[in-house]
Structure 1
């Protein structure tokens, strides 16, 4: 898996480089920088607002045992998970594992509850994403009925629905799955062996924690709808970004572009950071609506810059908290000895 991720990342970098050479690096960076500091700050601020909405969706799905954490704690854990997915050279699976660990900052949660909380949040998020991609597909067909992308995107939605149904069904017997994942963690993160032991020790309670989430279907439904609102916020981000780049885009067109791009990115989860895939998706979808390719490439660069501006500080904060916790643990062991 590690070798495949490295090869896919290299292929993505090559694809990005090829696009930049083909379109002209100078025009791409000129368009990207044209938004200015104020425009970029607006884009970062809007994404932070979307992150708050997504954290609210997570809290909505939570049973009573998790409500004590508050939305701020869930927001931080979610931002660590997203930062690991977008800023670190991992596939999305690696980012999810880091997010599971980050949810237990300071050992406020038992690991089985932290793991189940992330699984349910990811489940409701993907359900909201499926609805968003379907909505984007409808806008795409309405505005470009002759496009050849409608068929593949529609098939992708159907496959995503089938995969999500299978994933939810698999959660009924999730204990065995997470036991294998925990054994495979090794020492890939600081204190990974201790994390693995703690998960294995509490694996029997994981299924009960998942059942506690799904015992409240009203909360799960509400979380899915709030996640859908968050995805709609991402379409608004694309609309603002294109406008700042100088493209007079309508909000419905932005929804069609972001909905299609989200569908493409969802099936490229093995590519670290969706390198190259993200750029290709925005360029292809933007061209359907007459948008210059260098503007769409610039939009992708703005998205990556936004992710770094948010994710890098959050990951540094998480690492600092991890180092402090490990040092305190080592000090306690020495004092006990």
Structure 2
């Protein structure tokens, strides 16, 4: 899949012409740093949403932001199918002393809430697209697609409530020759129980859901700033549509590392629908790539440093790390 992504990415660049794209990015200049800095806002908001899912006393917000930053860096830059970063951030927090089953459960529920709010955000983008391009004939197809996505998400939720991970653990243990793959979160049964405990506090889940939605909305600023510094400012409705559907396209390409090529093609198409030339759409996608590298590479370095510290800790001191800070 990585080779497929690289090939798509290269093909889109060649198709649109490297000189034009390079000129657009040179126009953005220091605006690339502004876009990168802006992303810290949704990063903190999403971290707050995740933190809410813990029972009091909750971990300190900086610790959660640190773990999410590392998780985003892994998911964005490594071929881990958009899930490896979530496993890594849970493992880091557990190794630092946070409750294993609870931490694993908060990650699973946070992923579920992220998927739900992303679908709702994508629906907003589709509605705006229908208004902006005035083609109601595609509404039925859009409605069917949304219905299928929501049905799959509802099924995933019901499976979580019904002991999904306990059943999966039994299957995987048989396939894997007896290896307990979920031991790092305290075992599958403990994980299922912790997930149920979170859903048993519906107001907690609703609060986290609301903050997740706010995080998606905050991401609109990244597109608006990107196009502003590229010399093609757009209105709020256009920026919402581009961010919402751009994220939906990226999410659909989870099997390709970083959605390489797919994200670029998506922005080329979406930009054309609102009157921007394809080179600007591609340049906007590359602005997002610069942001991913600007935050992601230091995140990968921080991950390796943290893993090294965790490996050294047992040799230095057998003392346990406190559960929450």
- Structure 1: 5+ residue runs without aligned partners? 1-7, 187-192
1:236: how far off? 2.1
The residue number in structure 2 matching 1:189 is: none
Take 1:315 and 1:194, find their aligned partners in 2: how far apart are those partners? 27
- TM-score normalized by the length of structure 2: 0.88
Going from structure 1 to structure 2, the CA distance change for 1:155 and 1:77 (only over 3 Å counts) comes to farther
Instruction: Measure, in 2, the Cα distance between the counterparts of 1:92 and 1:179.
Output: 21
Distance 1:25 1:101, change over 3 A: same
The offset of 1:248, in angstroms, is 2.4
C-alpha spacing 1:22/1:135, structure 2 compared with 1 (3 Å) = same
Could you tell me whether the CA contact under 8 Å between 2:78 and 2:258 is conserved in 1? yes
Deviations 1:112-136 (A, max 9, x none): 2221110011111111111111111
Correspondent of 1:224 among 209, 213, 234: 209
Q: How do residues 78-117 of structure 1 correspond to structure 2 at under 5 angstroms?
A: 78-106=68-96, 108-117=97-106
Q: Point out where structure 2 has 5 or more consecutive residues left out of the alignment.
A: 319-325
**TM-score, length-scaled by structure 1:** 0.85
Please name the residue that 1:261 is paired with: 246
Pairing partner for 1:12 from 5, 22, 43: 5
1:243-277 CA-to-partner distances (Å, cap 9, x unmatched) read 11111211101111221222222221111110111
Question: Counterpart in 1 of 2:115?
Answer: 126
SS at match of 1:63: coil
1:241 aligns with 2:231: no
In the superposition, relative to structure 1, how do residues 260 and 58 fare at CA in structure 2: closer, same or farther (>3 Å)?
A: same
Match of 1:163 among 145, 152, 164: 152
Structure 1 runs (4+) deviating above 6 angstroms are none
Q: CA RMSD in A?
A: 2.5
Q: 1:258 to 1:156 in 2, by over 3 A?
A: farther
1:144 counterpart residue number = 133
Q: Counterparts in 2 of 1:315-326, with a 5 A limit? A: 315-326=300-311
Matched, 1:62 2:54: yes
Correspondent of 1:75 among 46, 65, 83: 65
Residue 309 (1) aligns with residue 294 (2): yes
- Distance in 2 between residues matched to 1:82 and 1:45, nearest whole Å: 15
* Structure-2 residue corresponding to 1:4: none
Larger % of helix: which? Answer: 1
Partner Cα separation in structure 2 for residue 148 and residue 74 of structure 1: 45
Mapped to 1, the partners of 2:95 and 2:172 lie a distance apart of: 18
* Correspondence for 2:262: 277
Q: SS state of the match for residue 219, structure 2?
A: helix
Contact kept? 2:173, 2:180, Cα under 8 Å:
no
